[in-house]
């Protein structure tokens, strides 16, 4: 195992444990979080879980159901 593989493995373990890409970026010493985003491409289901963990509660994913008044306002030409 190379030092690079060990670093990568530790970063993925930290990401899975903390669900916080910012902590991984700090631990790896990345100046730009975009450099750390490669770790989010490993597993799309883990990516969604991590994003939801740091998302404000009002923005959590779910099904949107439009109210009748919203639909009426969208259909009203004037």
Domain with 18, as residue range(s), is 3-58
Instruction: Using the Cα atoms of residue 17, residue 23, residue 27 and residue 32 in order, give the sign of their dihedral.
Output: positive
**Helix, strand or coil for residue 58?**
helix
Q: Per residue in 4-62, pLDDT tens? A: 878 888 888 888 888 888 999 999 999 988 888 887 777 667 667 767 777 777 766 67
- At 70, the pLDDT band (50, 70, 90 cuts) reads confident
24 domain-assigned: yes
pLDDT at 69: 85
Longest dimension (CA), the chain: 67
Number of structural domains (the chain) is 1
DSSP one-letter string for 20-46: -HHHHHHHHT-SSHHHHGGGGGS-HHH
53 domain-assigned: yes
């Amino acid at each position: 195992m190379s030092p690079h593989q060990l670093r990568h493995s530790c970063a993925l373990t930290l990401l899975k444990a903390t669900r916080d890409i910012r902590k991984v970026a700090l631990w790896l010493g990345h100046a730009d979080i975009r450099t750390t985003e490669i770790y989010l491409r490993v597993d799309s289901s883990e990516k969604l879980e991590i994003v939801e963990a740091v998302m404000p509660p009002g923005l959590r994913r779910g099904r949107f159901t439009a109210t009748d008044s919203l639909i009426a306002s969208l259909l009203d030409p004037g």
